[in-house]
DNA sequence: CCACTTATTGACTTTGCGGTCGAATTTGTT
DNA sequence: AACAAATTCGACCGCAAAGTCAATAAGTGG
């Protein structure tokens, strides 16, 4: 019980976890802007005021960092999916909430869908692809629901989903925090455009 | 004059050019599927039944291949842009033709928007970014035209354009030639979804 | 202030891959 | 057949960047 009450800044495990997260986040930002292979461990280290060797105190390999980046995003997305359960009058309404929240994740929280899945090997890749599939299936299910309740016009669900999910992914490439276009405006426009594109 | 009439299969320059193109195309396919950095020169060579060294008889560097891949796509897109000049009753109609043709490029001709611009350096990168900007501006101009003539609902043109261009790019990731979903179906659905999303 | 754990480092090793080169082989020409 | 030009190859080099490790500094509890 003693340890449990120590204030966070003086709790070593908490500090370690926080620093580890900082490493992941620093890397995630760099990966998003310049890609996985164009970002070196030295660069990540320097951006945190550390040496490369120190990084390996927090992570096992560069690949593990990339893996964690993906997991971070999918965790957040799972959370969003859970939060729209039961909400919304129909499939389309539910989807609008979901999509808006996804857009917010990208712009507000700096979380980006990474495309470098092929740089992951073995179990890492398998799990990330699994998580991606899970999200896709969840979104597809909502879309199918909307097609059934008549709020979304009938079409192949897969194409429908990948269309607007693709738009989201491309955000990584051109969105710059603090730029002319605020995250709110983007999210709003995206939701409208998505919604009008598929409403019946 | 003598040389000019030689049949193509016996004309060395033509053969050289054809082989060079084959190298670019083989690489383009691999880059699209597994990414630039996950594709080695040895792999490209073997996929053509050659040794790595032979590749360098046709190209100066791996970076040059990536550069040519980009140029190939932008040339095709410029062609599409030119082909819709004057066509279509209004901005939206023009855009639908354009977008459909873009989708066809991706699915039918296997041309893919590469995202690895950051792997290009110096002049290569500058030119590719220039070409990309040119296309974006052309598309944006059409969209703005549509907003003026009332066929497209008013919104920030940049967001509007990036939304549906992003969807196009994401095709690379999931579209598989010969799969359940034909290029025609995809192109058709994409055009509808794009159009309904922005029509006024 | 001492013993011990946690953090961090500089210097080194390893490795995968792009790129080069001279030689060999194939192809085309007279 | 002989020669030249176009192709292709095996073997090698260089380098950037991932990853290791022994040494050390910083922090903590007694």
What pLDDT, on the 0 to 100 scale, is given for residue B100? 97
Give the protein-side footprint of strand D (Cβ within 7 Å): A 10, 12, 39-42, 52-53, 56, 61-63; B 12, 15-16, 19, 45, 49-54, 57
Q: What are phi and psi of A6, to 5 degrees?
A: -60, 135
A96 and A8 within one domain: no
Residue B118 domain flag? yes
Q: Find residues 28-47 of chain B whose CB sits inside 8 Å of chain A.
A: 33-38
A180: pLDDT strictly greater than 60: yes
Mean pLDDT in residue range B144-152: 96
- Closest Cα of chain B to A15: distance in Å? 34
Residue B4 domain flag? no
Residue B140 domain flag? yes
B198: pLDDT strictly greater than 80: yes
Average pLDDT, chain A: 93
Query: Per the CB < 8 Å rule, is A181 touching B163?
Result: no
B29-38 tens-digit pLDDT: 999 999 999 9
For residue A93, name the pLDDT band (cuts at 50, 70, 90).
very high
Residue B168 domain flag? yes
Residue B171 domain flag? yes
Average pLDDT, chain B: 93
Residues making up chain A, counted from first to last: 200
**B148 CA, D15 C1': Å apart:** 55
What pLDDT, on the 0 to 100 scale, is given for residue A6? 54
Q: Within 13 Å of residue B23, how many CA atoms lie on the same side as its CB? A: 29
- Residue A157 token pair: 């669900």
Q: What Cα–Cα distance (Å) separates residue B51 from each residue in B15, B39, B44, B46?
A: 18, 15, 9, 6
Residues A143, A56: Cα–Cα separation, whole Å:
43
What pLDDT, on the 0 to 100 scale, is given for residue A114? 83
B142: pLDDT strictly greater than 70: yes
B82 and B22 within one domain: no
Q: Is A110 left (phi over 0), alpha (psi -120 to 50) or beta?
A: left
CATH number at residue A7: 1.10.10.60
In this predicted structure, which of B12-16, B115-119, B149-153 has the lowest mean pLDDT? B12-16
B35 and B65 within one domain: no
Nearest by Cα to B27 from B42, B5, B12, B9: B42
B76: pLDDT strictly greater than 80: yes
B101 and B18 within one domain: no
Query: Per the CB < 8 Å rule, is A167 touching B166?
Result: yes
| In contact, A98 and A152? CB cutoff 8 Å | no
- Total number of domains in chain B: 2
Helices (H), B35-152: 41-47, 52-55, 62-83, 91-107, 122-148
State whether residue A199 is helix, strand or coil.
Answer: strand
- Closest Cα of chain B to A50: distance in Å? 25
Residue B114 domain flag? yes
A194 and A163 within one domain: yes
B166 and B125 within one domain: yes
What residues of A are in contact with residue B120 (Cβ under 8 Å)?
none
State whether residue B199 is helix, strand or coil.
Answer: strand
What pLDDT, on the 0 to 100 scale, is given for residue B171? 92
A5: pLDDT strictly greater than 90: no
Residue B100 domain flag? yes
What pLDDT, on the 0 to 100 scale, is given for residue B3? 43
Q: Find residues 69-128 of chain A whose CB sits inside 8 Å of chain B.
A: 115-116, 118-119
User: Facing residues of A199 across strands?
Assistant: A152
As ranges, strand C nucleotides with an atom below 7 A of a protein CB are: 6-11, 16-22, 28-29
Could you tell me which residue, A48 or B200, shows the higher pLDDT?
Answer: A48
Determine the residue of chain B that is closest to A155 in CA distance: B189
Host domain of residue A191:
63-198
Close Cβ partners of B151 (under 8 Å, ≥ 6 residues apart) = B90, B91, B92, B93, B199, B200
A113 and A20 within one domain: no
Residue B178 domain flag? yes
Provide, rounded to the nearest whole percent, the portion of chain B with pLDDT above 70. 95
Determine the residue of chain B that is closest to A181 in CA distance: B159
B166 and B84 within one domain: yes
State whether residue B58 is helix, strand or coil.
Answer: coil
A102-132 tens-digit pLDDT: 999 999 998 988 889 999 999 999 999 999 9
B21 and B109 within one domain: no
Nearest by Cα to A168 from A103, A75, A77: A103
For residue A1, name the pLDDT band (cuts at 50, 70, 90).
very low
- Closest Cα of chain A to B94: distance in Å? 18
Provide, rounded to the nearest whole percent, the portion of chain A with pLDDT above 70. 95
What pLDDT, on the 0 to 100 scale, is given for residue A7? 60
Tokens 């990540």 appear where?
A44
Chain centre distance of CA A108: 11
Element holding B28 (H helix, E strand)? helix B12-34
A32: pLDDT strictly greater than 50: yes
As ranges, strand D nucleotides with an atom below 7 A of a protein CB are: 6-11, 16-22, 28
Close Cβ partners of A41 (under 8 Å, ≥ 6 residues apart) = A52, A55, A62
For residue A13, name the pLDDT band (cuts at 50, 70, 90).
confident
What pLDDT, on the 0 to 100 scale, is given for residue A89? 86
CATH number at residue B149: 1.10.357.10
For residue B114, name the pLDDT band (cuts at 50, 70, 90).
confident
A55 and A76 within one domain: no
A54 and A8 within one domain: yes
What pLDDT, on the 0 to 100 scale, is given for residue A10? 66
What pLDDT, on the 0 to 100 scale, is given for residue A2? 41
State whether residue B152 is helix, strand or coil.
Answer: strand
What pLDDT, on the 0 to 100 scale, is given for residue A125? 97
A116 and A143 within one domain: yes
């Amino acid at each position: 019980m003693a340890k449990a009450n120590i204030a966070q800044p003086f709790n070593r495990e908490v500090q370690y976890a926080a620093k580890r997260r900082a490493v992941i986040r620093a890397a995630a930002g760099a990966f998003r802007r310049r890609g996985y292979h164009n970002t070196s461990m030295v660069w990540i280290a320097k951006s945190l005021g550390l040496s490369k060797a120190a990084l390996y105190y927090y992570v096992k390999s560069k690949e593990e960092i990339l893996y964690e980046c993906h997991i971070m995003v999918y965790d957040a997305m799972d959370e969003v999916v859970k939060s729209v359960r039961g909400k919304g009058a129909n499939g389309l309404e539910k989807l609008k909430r979901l999509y808006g929240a996804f857009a917010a994740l990208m712009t507000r929280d700096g979380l980006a869908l990474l495309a470098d899945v092929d740089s992951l090997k073995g179990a890492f890749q398998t799990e990330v692809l699994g998580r991606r599939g899970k999200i896709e299936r969840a979104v597809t299910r909502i879309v199918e629901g909307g097609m059934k309740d008549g709020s979304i016009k009938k079409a192949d669900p897969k194409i429908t989903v990948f269309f607007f999910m693709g738009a989201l992914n491309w955000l990584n490439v051109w969105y710059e925090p603090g730029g002319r276009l605020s995250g709110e405006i983007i999210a709003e426009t995206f939701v409208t455009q998505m919604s009008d594109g598929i409403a019946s």
